[in-house]
Chains A and B, each alone.
Chain A
Amino acid sequence: MRSWNRPLGAAVLMILTAACSGGGQPSASSSAAPVTLTIQDFSVEQTDFHKQVVAEYQRVYPNVTIQWQSTAQAQYEQTLPLAFQSKQAPDLFYWQKQGSNTMNWLLSNSWISTVSPDGKVPSDWTKRWPAGSFQNGINMKDGNVYGFPWQDTHYWGPGYMYMNKGVFAQAGLDPSNPPTTWSQLADTCANIKSKTKAYCLAVPLKGTDWQRIWYAMAAGNMTDLFFDYKNGKFSLDNPAMLQTFNYLQGLYNKGYFAPGVQDKSFSRQQFAAGQAAIYMDGPWMISVWDQLGFHSDSYGVAAHPNPDGGAKGALSSLNSQNAYWVSSQTQHAAEAWKFIQWMTNPTGFFAQNFLSHQFATLAFADDKKLLTDPAWQQIFKIADKAGFRVQYPDPLLKCPALAQSKAYTDASALHPNWEHQVMVDAITSNKDLKPAAQLVVSTRQQTLEAELQKESAAGLKVSASCYEFGTNGWDYTQNFNIANYSKP
């Protein structure tokens, strides 16, 4: 009997191995050594989707085990640096805190390596993105590619006005004919207040959540940023910004805001529950509303209202969406690159399912084709109108030496969210914003200029003019063309 055991055991083993090697699909790397890839981000709401991605990728590449870990954003931003310090960094990670300067910051901290093992990428991969998506200083350095745009920056961003159809109907208003000017918005609110029990505007005022209405309304009058790239100055005390604030303060004083200092979750629930007529935010709200059981047949979407004399500004589109990076501590550079190529396939599993969940838009996919919800179609129509969102100039492309500068970061990091805090303080106390705004601007501007001078004296080719683009012929309502960087 013993003489039968070994060949029988070997036969069973062979059968089992063949059965486990994949359900009839070609396994590209079944003979490759097993690899574990770790990916970290803070997209906690996408956890179930990540599990699907992992299952599908492991079906195609059975030798690769993916561990995709998502944690809450605040915790993630604190623990990822610790992971790098303790040499336990993931293979791929999400980071975009420094905006368009993210790559340079990551390189200065030795966190990243090139997306491919040799830094070069095939042209058919870069062609997945619009022309101009890969730029030296933004996601490339010395001809090597370090990052790639993740979300698009044309549709994705603040500035959309959501209208509760039920509340509008109660007030005898038509959401397909939304208010387009500040006066019309005030009239709409007066109507809603007098004819319904709902509040007009659900506006979160807790922490930084005030930004949701601020960015939308400020963009129409000048810019949604707290920095004036036309004149190279912090801008909260600019007359146009103060005018926008005073308008919103007027709405608040008339009782058009839902009362209370709420966070965004509460305000969103108020809107979905029909306790408020209007909520302003970005296109991510479509999936948020879905999760609240509030679907696109119950609300309308429109562009934010502009000042009565017409738009004097636009929302900003920045080079800030290079978000996933290959870690410098990865032991599996080739596998990480393979995963990136698979993930960024415009018609692949990842893009199709990511977009079907409506998490966001993707810079490398045909969003209009794959995001079919009527609300998304409305978003595309709004954003495609000229002047809604424009490409802003990037100081980093005008003065590449800014990659080593800490001046702007230090100036902005002074009292995080200071602008939002002084605005909420002024609106709830019915105070004049100007004194506080001037303090904020002068403090930040002095820091910026002093540090730029120090860096310039140390030999870095930077100056305050790196941040001024009015002399390049740019205005707040225009797209800034790459060719304009070469103008003096």
Chain B
Amino acid sequence: MAAGRLSLSSIRALATRGAGPDGRRFWIPVFLLPFLLLYGGFTVWPLLATAYYSLFNWDGISQLSDFVGLTNYQKILGDPIFWLAFKNTLVFAVVETAIKLPLALFVAILLTRRWLLFKTFFRTVFFLPIILPVALAGLVFTYLLNPSNGAIDSFLADRGWIHTPIDLLGHGNTALIAIILVAVWQIFGQYMVYWMAALQNVPEDVYEAADIDGANELQKLIHITLPLIRPVALIITLLAIVNALHVFGVVVTLTAGGPGQASYTVSYFIYNEAFSEAPFRYGYGSAAALLFAVLAFMFVTGQAAIARGAERLRRDYSV
């Protein structure tokens, strides 16, 4: 070694001095730092700022000086529109999940059958809607569902299946259903992929054993496939519900929360209060956002508890 130069081992020794026998304790925070900076800047800081703004009556432009304490929260808890939005969001999350997951599972099972031809084609077709921006999907369906001259009503009327136009988006009862169906169409390809990954973890030898015992497809589905994917299914289900709680883009473009407020969701309520008309109501919108975040957090912590149970099941089943 030349005089004045350090060897690689010396450098490593200096860098990991005091970092434990294998130096990992030093490098762990170093590699975590970029993520922590981004997480802190784009998740933790906005959350803290939202909590702070929620204590003020603030339009987002003027000085942050009108401190109102918990008044915004009191108003929201007594706001019938917030609770309408909350109810709609829950209905959307539960119904949308109840439709998209079984549908996606059914398609995933079909796509993993050996006898199915053109698997790649079908996989692509079912996955394509997820590539569309959700707002664009809403816009497209605005035109398709238009009762004046939309393609769907025109198709049904031409065949004599309907005699008066169906205005799905024009009635409070059906507007939310329309949003659910469009959202299912747009997103179910993603869950189809999740189910396919889950199905691939089921060992083939279990199916072979079932074949030897003379089980048919339905029996294999009920007694082998569904029980073995149950641990992963719990996680997929909870992910689906949490994602559905944040519905926004399709509401904005398809119904704008209407007719009236019939299809308001919590995200749209927050957007409308905080951003839709100047002067904005950042304080009020922040309080609504924080309340909603608490609710979503409760779901996530519930998911963590169930996921831990699911993880135990997964290890027990070795899938």
Is there an interface contact between A421 and B260, defined as CB atoms closer than 8 Å?
A: yes
A424 interfacial contact with B, CB 8 Å: yes
- In angstroms, how far is the closest chain A Cβ from the Cβ of B58? 11
A44 interfacial contact with B, CB 8 Å: no
The residues in A between 399 and 458 inclusive whose CB is less than 8 angstroms from any CB of B are 406, 409-410, 413-417, 421-426, 428-429, 439
Contacts of B61 on A, CB cut-off 8 Å? 81, 84, 109
B259 interfacial contact with A, CB 8 Å: yes
| Residue-wise interface mask of B (245-269) relative to A, using a CB-CB cutoff of 8 A (1 in contact, 0 not) | 0000000000111111110000000
In the assembled complex, the Cα of A415 lies from the Cα of B280 at a distance in Å of 10
In the assembled complex, the Cα of A409 lies from the Cα of B279 at a distance in Å of 8
**Which segment of B93-101, B141-149, B222-230 sits at the interface?**
B141-149
Is there an interface contact between A78 and B170, defined as CB atoms closer than 8 Å?
A: no
Cross-chain contact of A97 among B165, B175, B256, B279 (Cβ < 8 A): B279
| Residue-wise interface mask of A (76-90) relative to B, using a CB-CB cutoff of 8 A (1 in contact, 0 not) | 011001001000000
In the assembled complex, the Cα of A456 lies from the Cα of B288 at a distance in Å of 30
In the assembled complex, the Cα of A424 lies from the Cα of B170 at a distance in Å of 9
Interface size on A, residues (CB 8 A): 40
| Residue-wise interface mask of B (272-293) relative to A, using a CB-CB cutoff of 8 A (1 in contact, 0 not) | 1101111111000000000000
Quick one: closest B residue to A273, CB to CB? B149
Is there an interface contact between B259 and A424, defined as CB atoms closer than 8 Å?
A: yes
Is there an interface contact between B169 and A416, defined as CB atoms closer than 8 Å?
A: no
Is there an interface contact between A108 and B57, defined as CB atoms closer than 8 Å?
A: no
Is there an interface contact between A428 and B62, defined as CB atoms closer than 8 Å?
A: no
Contacts of B12 on A, CB cut-off 8 Å? none
B129 interfacial contact with A, CB 8 Å: no
The residues in A between 1 and 57 inclusive whose CB is less than 8 angstroms from any CB of B are none
Is there an interface contact between B172 and A206, defined as CB atoms closer than 8 Å?
A: no
A250 interfacial contact with B, CB 8 Å: no
Contacts of A266 on B, CB cut-off 8 Å? 146
Is there an interface contact between B172 and A428, defined as CB atoms closer than 8 Å?
A: yes
In the assembled complex, the Cα of A174 lies from the Cα of B66 at a distance in Å of 58
- In angstroms, how far is the closest chain A Cβ from the Cβ of B190? 29
10 closest Cβ contacts across the A-B interface? A425-B260, A416-B277, A428-B259, A259-B147, A97-B278, A81-B61, A207-B256, A421-B260, A424-B260, A260-B147
Task: List the interface of chain B (C-beta within 8 A of A).
Answer: 57, 59-62, 66, 80-81, 146-150, 165, 167, 169-172, 175, 255-262, 272-273, 275-281
- Pairs A–B under 8 Å by Cβ, sample size 28: A74-B276, A81-B61, A97-B278, A98-B279, A109-B62, A205-B259, A206-B256, A206-B258, A258-B148, A260-B146, A260-B148, A261-B255, A261-B258, A266-B146, A270-B148, A409-B279, A413-B277, A414-B281, A415-B81, A416-B273, A416-B276, A417-B272, A422-B260, A425-B261, A428-B170, A429-B260, A429-B262, A439-B80
